[in-house]
Chains A and B, each alone.
Chain A
Amino acid sequence: MSWVGKSLRRKEDDRLVRGNGLFADDEQIEGMLHLYILRSPYAHARIRGIDTAAAESLAGVACVLTGADIKEQCDPYMQLGPEPCDKIIDLPLATDKVVFQGEPVAAVAAETAALAMDAGQLIEVDYEMLDAVVDPEQALEDKIVLHEAAGTNRVWHSVFEYGDVDKAFEDAAHVVKIERMHFHRFASTPVENNACVAEWTRQGDVDFLCNNSFIGFAVQLLAPGLRLPMEKIRARTYDIGGSFGVKIWNYVYMALAALASRKCDGRKVKWSETRTEHLLASGHGNERTFLDTEVALDKDGVITGIRSRHIDDCGAYTRYEPLGCVIWAQVLPATYGVRNFRIDFTQTVTNKCPVVPNRGYSRMQHLWFMERVVDICAHELGIPADEMRLKNYVREFPYETPNGCVYDSGDYPMMLEKAKELIGWDEWKKKQAEARKEGRWLGIGIGTTLDSGTNNFGQAQIMNPYLPFSGNSEVCVIRLDFDGSVIVTLGTGPSGQGHETATSQVVADELNIDPAMVTVRTGFDSAWNTFSGHSGTYASQFAVTGLSAVHGACQKLKVEMRQLASFMLEADEDDLEFGVGDEGPQLAVKGTDKAINYWFMSNVVNNNNALLGGNLADVTLNVRHVYRPPFEAPDTEKKFGNLTLTYAAQLHIAVIEIDKNTCRPNILAYAAVDDCGSVINPQIAAGQVHGATAHGIGAALLETFNYDETGNLLTATFSDYCPITSMNIPDIQYGHIESPSPFSYNGAKGMGEGGGAPLHTISAAIQDALHSEGIIVNESHHSAPKVFERVNAPNREKVVSVESR
């Protein structure tokens, strides 16, 4: 009986569906204070003064924090980037200057949340307005500089060059030039906003109940920021209502709740963000512009070289950035066999909300770019979209990319075949031909994408050679409890991915027990869970990094169990076998009825250890395992090395008709095929695919953060931002294939991010519908008003040119 591979019902759901989850904002403690964060209405302004007298004298207000407190008690958060990032001063509150709308300038702790907000309204901030810069290309002119100490907005620049690019262009039969493409700004809007309850005890310890999704990392940055040794900070999570990477960076604001608690003699302080605050200032996805792209192709349409200039807009601070300037290189050639690249990559700060590692982080933007390149070339050269992919797909695995990444396994042609079958490709092709005769705008688009999982943190050294990060790891502790059940703690701190369930399945198989006998402790606790600096839930980590830790811990436990049983049964270890006897799971001597069951083993070690007579001192039945993937540090000069362990793939096909009256892209059919290697729990995997598909469709059709030229966010409510709802999600024809990864013990691949497939696919379908109208789809957002703009201003002449020899 194997539990892995089955759709075991999610263990988490019972408590969640019944409303018995514990989210940070659920915490109710007598005497707890509530924090209100006063935020800048301006995107760029100098703070000339703050008058907090009226707020402080309001009854029920416990304390007010301003930049002055912060200067006194905090050090700027550590910057990951080299010069000039290291000059950027990022603090929990602005001190002298605000650089984005929504940046915190003061905080009030009061008896109720409403009171705190009332008091916040009484704070007078004297701002001197400064001109803002929201356009990345303008920002790079440095006429308006956000961080004066850094002296420039250009926070990172380098050239990624592989192969012989110039030769590829000399030999090319066709060169396609694409003047400009733009990937828009959006985020994944988790259903639960950022929240925490903080306590700064009189002993000088800080305790957080929070919803940060990468605590192993967060405490490493939070501690020096608060001038504390790491072990003084205890951060706990229980249930987290989605993160999608956005919650990695909420500790910047968690610090405020801690500082307020400190100022209020250790009273607990709750901070719970509102939706508008979340949209305004929690963290957006990276926005990227692709300029002067040139594509070399041979006479058959095989792409031989690409050169391009990429400008990434990371908003006002380099939080986690400039890591995004390297992360995309995990998928440099996307799913295609292109060998020659020159990508000139620049990142700039602008007066907008800082970006954070949003679902599909940095790779999604690059994959969209590559998909547009392939798709535009196909349309310009008159090659059918499917053939173009088949000509260019990588086919041999493991495949080393030009920059040294190793694609573990896959079968993109088979995924295409499967998706075509699901959607009814041939039928739609016929319908499309008829529709076109009637002058209708009907397009069929293919999007192929990668979800690279278990990353090698050594790539951070490509961004900054001095960073002390590399490799990856996850930790699991497993204990055989007195009653023979198994208790597991993980460093992962999941936010909805079903780690309790998948872990139970793995442990159940390894130890031959029912998953119901496995308790996976919910949430994370930096004081009690064992963890590593990589511990967390992000970047498609779990199926490989997390479960390898679980699997390794099971093996260690089994070794101890064999030692113990061998002693107790007076038998050779080789003669023992795991099995199930009359009293449940046991170890038995082969071919005899001599056996010892699990609870008895645990009882001997924990309660009845005189039976051991002082033997087996190292056997505790409580073991810890750290999984470390086999990575090497990349060559930072050449920017070469294996940056991720596994490469899950997704292939989507969409049929879209653009309503000529409303310009609404109407999805008529949608197929999503995924390949995440061996599947641990099909239902969870399908759920991730559906969720990622919804996120991608939302981003493509509805969701966008629009700023005006003064840096004012125009889509700061759900009514304006318009996140996707069930009404906007088409029926998804879901299918999957399994190409087991040779690099993970279980053949699985990380797959939670999904690689933004709908963005690629919908862009391609709209391209297909509108190419004959003289339109090149060079943007990623396709709301009806956007499509209206596009069809009224054909851009093909301006954006694309083809030279054929």
Chain B
Amino acid sequence: MYPAPFDYHRANSVDEAIGMLSDIGEGARVMAGGQSLLPVLKMRFDELTDIVDIGRIPDLNQIEENGNGVSIGALTTHSCIAASALAGSVPILLDCASGIADVQVRSRGTIGGSVASGDPSCDWPALLHTLDAEIQCQGPNGTRTLDINGFVEDLYQTALQPSEIITGIRFKRPGAGSGGAYCAFKRCAPAYPTTSVGVQLTITDGQVESARVALGSSGLTPIRAQQAEAELEGQSLGAGQIGRAADAAVAASDPVDDQRGSADFKRQLIAHLTKRAIGIAERRASGEQVVNSHEYY
């Protein structure tokens, strides 16, 4: 498998990358870890003329914490995130980062690339909805910060402007009483999830103060299930609330029939994964250690 010919440019800074992208125009594509881009090129599904490799731009692969603010550089790999102290204390990040594909993909693929690819099967865009994350971007017209909500506009379509690059992801570290879980149903390591659900709950005195429910691989974009959140917020968790939230998550989803299963099957999975994620999130919110959130065949 060989991609069609292209020109290769390595950018040493964000400014340089943006300059290259603007100069080349439409046929140029950013490459970070290449784990989504290269397979597409090898299958010759994308016809580009130039690759601007941002993979070695310094300082974009740092995880920083400032007070309760967290920022993750766009080039941080899934493996680095999985091994970070941050993921050690925010388990939903570990669920996501360590569950993506296999070690080769995790060692190269980046969080920025995952968000920028606009692929509904990618885990990070769904997950980041549960943390109300912001996407930091820089383009020819300077920097801007976008909400993860609505960032992925359609299948493989994001809010990024031409020549604009994601530089980092920002969110607030979940506080005390908050717990989250990201649960995917997968066939095997190198396969994308059949569906996935992320849940972050903040629970005070047995009552859900705030809830986030987001679905991956469940439609053309990652989906935030706001009605499901509403079913949980202000409630103490019981089978009734959890069941209603699961139903609402299913209602918010829009899965299709494909080789991973029928839409009906995926709806059943979404209901199940929502309940499972709420259960794990609740336990984690109370300080319990829970490992292994994903389910494999």
Which A positions have Cβ atoms within 8 angstroms of B?
Answer: 113-114, 117-118, 121, 274-276, 659, 661-664, 701-702, 706, 714-715, 718-720, 722-725, 727-728, 783-785, 788-789, 792
**Neighbouring A residues of B151 by C-beta, 8 Å:** none
Judging by beta carbons under 8 Å apart, are A661 and B261 in contact?
Answer: no
Judging by beta carbons under 8 Å apart, are A662 and B1 in contact?
Answer: no
Judging by beta carbons under 8 Å apart, are B297 and A719 in contact?
Answer: no
Judging by beta carbons under 8 Å apart, are A121 and B44 in contact?
Answer: yes
Judging by beta carbons under 8 Å apart, are A722 and B187 in contact?
Answer: yes
Distance in angstroms between the alpha carbons of A399 and B261 in the assembled complex: 46
Contact with A along B282-296 (1 / 0, CB 8 A): 000000000000011
**Neighbouring B residues of A117 by C-beta, 8 Å:** 2
Given contacts A664-B297, A719-B191, A720-B259, contact A121 B4 (CB under 8 A): yes
**Neighbouring A residues of B43 by C-beta, 8 Å:** 276
Judging by beta carbons under 8 Å apart, are A728 and B272 in contact?
Answer: no
Distance in angstroms between the alpha carbons of A701 and B188 in the assembled complex: 11
Q: Distance in Å from the Cβ of B102 to the closest Cβ of chain A?
A: 8
Q: Does B124 contact A (CB under 8 A)?
A: no
Distance in angstroms between the alpha carbons of A275 and B1 in the assembled complex: 9
Q: Does B5 contact A (CB under 8 A)?
A: yes
**Neighbouring A residues of B185 by C-beta, 8 Å:** 662, 664, 784
Q: Does B153 contact A (CB under 8 A)?
A: no
Given contacts A114-B2, A118-B4, A274-B1, contact A702 B188 (CB under 8 A): yes
Chain B residue total in the interface (Cβ 8 A): 28
Distance in angstroms between the alpha carbons of A662 and B297 in the assembled complex: 9
Interface residues of B in 149-193 (CB under 8 A from A): 185, 187-192
Distance in angstroms between the alpha carbons of A702 and B261 in the assembled complex: 12
Q: Distance in Å from the Cβ of B140 to the closest Cβ of chain A?
A: 33
Contact with A along B242-266 (1 / 0, CB 8 A): 0000000000000000011110110
Judging by beta carbons under 8 Å apart, are A727 and B189 in contact?
Answer: yes
Given contacts A121-B4, A662-B269, A662-B272, contact A788 B262 (CB under 8 A): yes
Distance in angstroms between the alpha carbons of A662 and B43 in the assembled complex: 32
Given contacts A121-B44, A274-B1, A702-B297, contact A725 B261 (CB under 8 A): no
Judging by beta carbons under 8 Å apart, are B5 and A784 in contact?
Answer: no
Q: Which residue of B lies closest to A715 (CB)?
A: B259
**Neighbouring B residues of A113 by C-beta, 8 Å:** 2
Q: Does B143 contact A (CB under 8 A)?
A: no
Judging by beta carbons under 8 Å apart, are A714 and B259 in contact?
Answer: yes
Interface residues of B in 48-69 (CB under 8 A from A): none
Q: Does B268 contact A (CB under 8 A)?
A: yes
13 additional contacts (CB under 8 A) given A121-B4, A661-B276, A724-B188: A114-B3, A118-B2, A659-B295, A662-B295, A702-B297, A720-B191, A720-B259, A722-B190, A725-B189, A727-B296, A728-B188, A785-B260, A789-B265
Distance in angstroms between the alpha carbons of A276 and B261 in the assembled complex: 21
**Neighbouring A residues of B192 by C-beta, 8 Å:** 719
Q: Distance in Å from the Cβ of B278 to the closest Cβ of chain A?
A: 13
Judging by beta carbons under 8 Å apart, are B259 and A784 in contact?
Answer: no
Q: Distance in Å from the Cβ of B210 to the closest Cβ of chain A?
A: 26
**Neighbouring A residues of B268 by C-beta, 8 Å:** 661-663, 788
Judging by beta carbons under 8 Å apart, are A783 and B297 in contact?
Answer: yes
**Neighbouring B residues of A785 by C-beta, 8 Å:** 194, 260-262, 265
Q: Distance in Å from the Cβ of B192 to the closest Cβ of chain A?
A: 7
**Neighbouring B residues of A276 by C-beta, 8 Å:** 1, 43
Distance in angstroms between the alpha carbons of A331 and B187 in the assembled complex: 33
Q: Which residue of B lies closest to A116 (CB)?
A: B2
Judging by beta carbons under 8 Å apart, are B296 and A789 in contact?
Answer: no
7 nearest A-B residue pairs (beta carbon): A785-B261, A661-B272, A114-B2, A788-B265, A725-B188, A785-B265, A720-B259
Distance in angstroms between the alpha carbons of A465 and B296 in the assembled complex: 50
Given contacts A664-B295, A727-B296, contact A784 B190 (CB under 8 A): no
Q: Distance in Å from the Cβ of B106 to the closest Cβ of chain A?
A: 14
**Neighbouring A residues of B260 by C-beta, 8 Å:** 785
Q: Distance in Å from the Cβ of B196 to the closest Cβ of chain A?
A: 13
Q: Which of A706, A718, A725, A728 has the most CB atoms of chain B within a 10 A radius of its CB?
A: A725
Q: Which residue of A lies closest to B186 (CB)?
A: A727
A784 contacts which of B189, B191, B265 (Cβ < 8 Å)? B265
Distance in angstroms between the alpha carbons of A719 and B39 in the assembled complex: 11
Ordered by A's residue number, 20 sampled pairs between the chains whose C-beta atoms are within 8 Å are: A114-B2, A118-B2, A118-B4, A121-B44, A659-B295, A661-B269, A662-B269, A664-B185, A702-B297, A714-B259, A715-B259, A727-B189, A728-B188, A728-B296, A784-B261, A785-B261, A788-B261, A788-B265, A788-B268, A789-B262
**Neighbouring A residues of B194 by C-beta, 8 Å:** 784-785
Q: Distance in Å from the Cβ of B269 to the closest Cβ of chain A?
A: 6
Distance in angstroms between the alpha carbons of A720 and B194 in the assembled complex: 11
Judging by beta carbons under 8 Å apart, are A706 and B189 in contact?
Answer: no
Q: Which residue of B lies closest to A720 (CB)?
A: B259
A701 contacts which of B5, B189, B191, B297 (Cβ < 8 Å)? B297
Distance in angstroms between the alpha carbons of A276 and B192 in the assembled complex: 18
Q: Distance in Å from the Cβ of A264 to the closest Cβ of chain B?
A: 20
**Neighbouring B residues of A118 by C-beta, 8 Å:** 2, 4-5
Q: Distance in Å from the Cβ of B225 to the closest Cβ of chain A?
A: 18
Judging by beta carbons under 8 Å apart, are B269 and A722 in contact?
Answer: no
**Neighbouring B residues of A792 by C-beta, 8 Å:** 264
Q: Distance in Å from the Cβ of B45 to the closest Cβ of chain A?
A: 12
Distance in angstroms between the alpha carbons of A439 and B272 in the assembled complex: 17
**Neighbouring A residues of B189 by C-beta, 8 Å:** 725, 727
